[in-house]
């Protein structure tokens, strides 16, 4: 019986990881007709400072919610005044979904968004100021209640004051009772504002 020569085991071929797309190709991909490609590009540009202008431009024209959310997530991670200012202009958009998404993104940018507060609180459009209250409601920063209290005490529009009250209430304490009561006195003909305050006061003052 002849000898059977054992074959040496074959070495598995080395599988190389896929080559990472270049920044230039990802920037081009932001304009791809396929929304999945645009989303992939937006997520691939995380941390790339040179991509910020293109990503900010994409926010204004993107129609797919999941792509826009990816763009906003990538932008918010930069947390710079340039990005915050570029996003804040959309708080005045006629697109309610865009306004809300931008407000949510700004609320994660605790390092830079507070620098915008003076201009946002002075915005001539009261709807922008309402959205500003929404930003502050979710902003994990110790100064957020300070700005909300200022809005309640000083803003001339009842809708803004009501939005600020709603935003403040989860963190409100007894020390805020006076400013809430003063808001009711400033807008005696606004039943919703009055109801919101009257419902909250017992808890704040310990008279529930």
Q: Would residue 168 count as lying in a domain? A: yes
Q: Would residue 128 count as lying in a domain? A: yes
Q: Would residue 134 count as lying in a domain? A: yes
Q: Of 150, 110, 153, 103, which Cα lies nearest the Cα of 127?
A: 103
pTM reported for the whole predicted model: 0.86
Q: Would residue 95 count as lying in a domain? A: no
**Residue 50 to residues 41, 45, 58, 78, Cα–Cα distance (Å):** 14, 9, 14, 11
Domain assignment of residue 203, given as a range: 117-208
Q: Are 196 and 176 in contact (CB under 8 A)?
A: no
Q: Would residue 79 count as lying in a domain? A: no
Query: What local confidence, expressed as pLDDT, does residue 34 receive?
Result: 96
**Number of domains observed in the structure of the chain:** 1
* DSSP summary character for residue 47: T
Q: Of 108, 173, 172, which Cα lies nearest the Cα of 134?
A: 108
Q: Would residue 137 count as lying in a domain? A: yes
Q: Would residue 122 count as lying in a domain? A: yes
The 3-class secondary structure across 101-124, one letter per residue, is HHHHHHCCCCCCHHHHHHHHHCCC
Query: What local confidence, expressed as pLDDT, does residue 205 receive?
Result: 84
Digits of tens for pLDDT over the chain (208 positions)?
555 555 556 666 665 556 678 999 999 999 999 999 999 999 999 999 999 999 999 999 999 999 999 999 999 999 999 999 999 999 999 999 999 999 999 999 999 999 999 999 999 999 999 999 999 999 999 999 999 999 999 999 999 999 999 999 999 999 999 999 999 999 999 999 999 999 999 988 887 5
Q: Would residue 203 count as lying in a domain? A: yes
């Amino acid at each position: 019986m002849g000898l059977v020569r054992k074959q040496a085991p074959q070495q598995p071929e080395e599988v190389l990881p896929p080559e990472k797309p270049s920044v230039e190709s990802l920037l081009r991909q932001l304009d791809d007709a396929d929304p999945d490609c645009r989303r992939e590009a937006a997520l691939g540009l995380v941390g790339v400072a040179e991509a910020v202008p293109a990503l900010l431009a994409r926010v204004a024209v993107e129609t797919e919610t999941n792509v826009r959310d990816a763009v906003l997530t990538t932008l918010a991670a930069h947390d710079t005044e340039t990005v915050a200012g570029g996003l804040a202009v959309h708080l005045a958009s006629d697109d309610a979904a865009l306004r809300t998404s931008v407000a949510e993104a700004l609320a994660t940018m605790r390092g830079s968004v507070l620098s915008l507060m003076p201009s946002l609180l002075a915005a001539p459009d009261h709807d922008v100021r309402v959205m500003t209250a929404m930003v502050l409601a979710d902003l994990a920063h110790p100064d957020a209640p300070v700005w909300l209290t200022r809005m309640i005490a000083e803003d001339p529009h009842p809708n803004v004051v009501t939005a600020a009250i709603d935003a403040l209430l989860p963190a409100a304490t007894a020390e805020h009772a006076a400013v809430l009561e003063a808001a009711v006195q400033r807008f005696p003909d606004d039943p919703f504002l009055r109801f919101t305050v009257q419902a909250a006061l017992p808890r704040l003052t310990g008279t529930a």
